[in-house]
Structure 1
Amino acid sequence: MSEYVHLCLSDLLEEDLSSQEYFNTLPDDVRQNLLLIDNITTFEELQEQARILKTKMNNNHWN
């Protein structure tokens, strides 16, 4: 896992193997939504945004 700040999510996924592996384990709908967020530049931001999206999606599923 890299602490280097990347330009965007696609750059992060291309350059950081840990981020790429983590991203590939996420559900398709979460991955699609993450790709719409421009300011994910670190592994930690990727994890946090994925957590937020999964929480929102789970909450909407039960409403």
Structure 2
Amino acid sequence: MRHQIETAELADAELDAVSGGLLNETLGSAAGTVDGVEGLVGNTVNGVSTDGLPSVGVSLGAQS
């Protein structure tokens, strides 16, 4: 039994279009992740405090 493998040749412009689209999606995902994490900085969530003292609930803003 013989198997035939077909190949296709892609132009540089086609490869650039694909890689550019993938890069833009990756950067968009990374930016969304950073934006989502930014709101957590300086917050106390679920009783965990950054200053070592116990806390309850969610406290927004910088700890002093």
Name the one with the larger helix percent.
1
- Mark the structure with the bigger radius of gyration: 2
TM-score w.r.t. length of structure 1: 0.37
